Chain A
């Protein structure tokens, strides 16, 4: 092997540079990073050879941030400053979180997203997740010794817009270029389908630590089409632990427990649960802070009994997803099991009984999502040749709508619509002379706005005064391939427009992110600054090459004047890109992007035309 390595490490061997891309499974319990090496997806281990990074972050009083095994091991010592399962808080308000009374954190009251007060100040779930992602980025950079072009980050399929946005923000904060947010079950399907050359209808049943997803997919040659998805973004192995926790408190007649004892009991509960996967009785022994001992035994029968409703709770969304796909359980060819919690025998049995077949367990349920994400990242980075690739068609999990009169929701995009998708809806004024209109964007299936998730509120101002019902306000929802929504509103008679990225009430504003990034740069050494600059330069170089190659291929699509304008933008970017003014580089890239928008549209048009007519000829020959 070593003999074949002619180039120095870090040097590119191929004329078409292989771009380093990674896939990250940002889990409730464990996170992983994977990449494609010599055509094979592999998980990248830490320096001790461990693939899983526990999603635990410890903020100590000395300003150290510990992520992973060390933080996990010390969690019962400093529970208040050790955050576990932070994913449960992503894009969530305080009132959305279950079992908050059993948590040892110092929650900060306030509007919008939950925040925790730690020894290192108030932290948002986005920042805490960013610390996990940063650890994985550093691991990948060390392993691959090179600049990472981009990352695919996985999210539960059932994550709503606020949760997705929060995840993307965390990735940006961690210094990652997000190629795509990918649904976890879909990532698993890619890993499974490509490995097994599978065709037909498959279900992916993913029960992790804190989330449950079910996706129904149709696999045909090179196409992964999600037909329907469902789930519960607050149901997972943690809830099984919690049932044991409550059972133990009742059995041992414990008074309210201290945060330390509580965390210890939670850890023991989890251990007992995992032990019961392989044994019929689990001992639960704890030495409390008071010196007293708790000594209990939990049998499989008891465990099944106290968790029966949780198991059933996963079958409801499963039924619904199948119904949405218009399929019966018997039409499913295989059920792929994902997530550590699917190891529980009662889950295996329930799934087998429902689908009338043994589920597929031949992939490591811990790694399959990360491997699928890496595989997709490699494709998105442009490392695979046309023809040697595949197509992924995913859906949004929850309907998107607007509030109308009387606190009712009007659906604009129904759940399980294939993305990207856009829909427009017209609204009108209800008062004479009304010049502004409040728009409230919500997500969910329920009829009452108060039962749905509020994503954003914004206002369209400057509507010309007219009689009630005369204005025509067209609201357009666009969901991109990440499943993220943006909304525009336009008054049709005057063309007056208002546009927002839907920054959920729970999200961070662009300014906040910029401030946080700047903050982290100024705290770190010059290194961070140089790194960001270097990233911008690499990005600029890529853009220049892309435009130049487009010009070589399709120059005739531009008039001489248009060509001159593009050349001008190119020259401008080339002039500033090697300097150290990041802002100027960004501005020049922006200008080049805008200057080539029309060109890009014409190119796509021409290439589709060519592809379609090419096919017609092919059809005639066949």
Chain B
């Protein structure tokens, strides 16, 4: 899904919020900068003004929300950094993944399907935890590839794997939700 604009008034999402362009982000700092900026541009702050000012405020607030949502989520942040570095095409086109990774994902997928069928929420929770742990390691790998070695091809590989894993996490969430109701 395309964001509305990847830059706004000449600023990318990092510049807009006043953050250095890097994968590693201080979450608290991000929150603070986001709120400070919204406090300035949000339509509520311009509600008593004329049409033109209100429209500009909406555009800014929209863009600040977009920047914040993009940078807050590590995977979206990584994809955005690859996009800024001109490497986003690799994510869409190159679909090859290591056989070992695929095997493991397939096993996990089957385990989720079984646990779903059996409405075994404990096992689903378990799988959830295991996947989360693996993903944390992947994110560390992303940080190294983007911030330290600038190996964008490697980063694109990890991003694709993470997209796979996130899909599985949301499947587990859906199964848990179904089991609860």
Q: Does B53 contact A (CB under 8 A)?
A: yes
Contacting residue for B36 out of A320, A381, A607, A615, CB 8 A: A615
| Contact between B62 and A478, CB atoms less than 8 A apart | yes
0 or 1 for each of B160-181: is its CB under 8 Å from A? (1 = yes): 0000000000000100010011
Q: Once bound together, how far apart are the Cα atoms of A274 and B30, in whole Å?
A: 48
* Number of interchain pairs (Cβ within 8 Å): 125
Given the known inter-chain contacts A319-B180, A418-B65, A425-B2, please indicate yes or no for A381 contacting B35, CB distance below 8 A: no
**Distance (whole angstroms) from the CB of B170 to the closest CB of chain A:** 12
A222 to B44, CA, bound (A): 14
Closest to A545 in B: B50
Task: Determine how close the nearest CB of chain B comes to the CB of A469; give it in whole angstroms.
Answer: 16
Per the CB 8 Å criterion, the residue count for chain B at the interface is 40
The reply on A175 being an interface residue by CB < 8 A is no
Q: Which residue of B lies closest to A604 (CB)?
A: B56
Are the C-beta atoms of B48 and A380 separated by less than 8 Å? yes
Are A382 and B47 neighbours in the complex by a CB distance under 8 Å?
Answer: yes
Q: At the interface, yes or no: B25 with Cβ under 8 Å from chain A? A: no
- Is the pair B9, A481 in contact by a Cβ cutoff of 8 Å? no
The distance from the CB of B178 to the nearest CB of chain A, in whole angstroms, is 12
Give the contacting residue for A481; candidates B3, B39, B56, B61; CB below 8 A.
B61
Q: Find chain A residues with CB under 8 A from B60 CB.
A: 604, 608
The answer to whether A379 has its CB under 8 Å from any CB of chain B is yes
CA distance A423 to B50 in the complex (A): 25
How far is B1's CA from A528's CA once the two chains are assembled, in angstroms?
A: 49
A599 to B47 CA separation, bound complex (whole angstroms)? 17
Out of A180, A476, A594, A615, name the residue touching B47 (CB < 8 Å): A180
Q: Is the CB of B58 within 8 A of A480?
A: yes
Q: How far is the CB of A150 from chain B (nearest CB, A)?
A: 8
CB distance from B129 to the nearest CB of A (A): 15
Establish whether residues B55 and A600, one from each chain, have CB atoms under 8 Å apart when the complex forms.
yes
Instruction: Give chain A nearest CB distance to B108 CB in angstroms.
Output: 22
* Chain A residue nearest to B57 in the complex (CB): A604
* Complex Cα gap A611–B35 (Å): 13
Contact with A along B9-52 (1 / 0, CB 8 A): 10000000010000000000000000111111111110111111
Q: A323-B177, A543-B50, A547-B50 are in contact. Are A391 and B35 (CB under 8 A)?
A: yes
User: What's the Cα separation between A595 and B170 when bound, in Å?
Assistant: 48
How far does the alpha carbon of A422 sit from the alpha carbon of B3 in the complex, in Å?
A: 8
Chain A minimum-CB-distance residue to B9: A605
Q: Are B1 and A19 in contact (CB under 8 A)?
A: no
Q: Which residues of A are found within 8 Å of B43, using beta-carbon distances?
A: 420, 480-481
In the complex, residue of chain B having the shortest beta-carbon distance to the beta carbon of A615? B36
Q: Which residues from chain A contact B47 at a C-beta distance below 8 Å?
A: 150, 179-180, 380-382
> Least Cβ distance of B102 to chain A in Å?
27
**Cβ A380 vs Cβ B41 within 8 A:** no
- Kindly list chain A residues whose C-beta atoms are within 8 Å of the C-beta of B180: 319
CB distance from B132 to the nearest CB of A (A): 12
Beta-carbon nearest neighbor of B51 in chain A: A593
- A197-B50 Cα distance, complex, nearest whole Å: 33
Residue A601 lies at the interface, judged by CB distance under 8 Å to chain B = yes
Contact-residue size bin, chain A (C-beta under 8 Å from the other chain): 35 or more
A274 to B51 Cα, complex, angstroms: 47
Chain A: CB-nearest residue to B17:
A612
Q: How far is the CA of A179 from the CA of B55 in the complex (A)?
A: 14
| Closest A residue to B10 using CB positions | A605
Quick check: is A36 within 8 A (CB to CB) of the other chain?
Answer: no
Q: Which chain A residue shows the least CB distance to B38?
A: A391
A424 within 8 A of B: yes
A228-248 vs B, CB cutoff 8 Å, 1 = contact: the mask equals 000000000000000000000
CB of B89 closer than 8 Å to a CB of A: no
Q: Verify if A316 is at the interface (C-beta below 8 Å from B).
A: yes
Task: Decide if A426 is an interface residue (CB 8 Å cutoff).
Answer: yes
B18, B37, B44, B68: residue with the most chain A Cβ atoms closer than 10 Å = B44
A425-B2, A608-B37 known; 17 new pairs, CB 8 Å cut-off, are A150-B47, A222-B39, A319-B180, A380-B44, A380-B47, A391-B39, A412-B1, A417-B65, A418-B69, A420-B61, A421-B66, A422-B62, A424-B2, A424-B3, A424-B4, A480-B58, A601-B56
Which residues of A are interface residues toward B (Cβ below 8 A)?
19, 149-150, 179-180, 220, 222-223, 316, 319-320, 323, 376, 379-382, 389, 391-393, 412, 417-426, 474, 476, 478, 480-481, 542-543, 546-547, 550, 589, 592-594, 596-597, 599-601, 603-605, 607-608, 611-612, 615-616
Can you list 20 pairs linking A and B with CB atoms under 8 Å apart? A150-B47, A220-B35, A380-B47, A417-B65, A422-B4, A422-B62, A424-B1, A426-B2, A481-B43, A542-B48, A542-B50, A543-B50, A546-B49, A597-B52, A597-B56, A600-B53, A601-B56, A603-B56, A604-B53, A608-B60
Q: Using CB atoms and an 8 Å cutoff, list the residues of chain B in contact with chain A.
A: 1-4, 9, 18, 35-45, 47-53, 55-62, 65-66, 68-69, 173, 177, 180-181
Which 9 pairs, one residue from A and one from B, show the smallest C-beta to C-beta distance? A382-B48, A380-B47, A600-B52, A593-B51, A481-B43, A422-B4, A420-B62, A600-B56, A597-B52
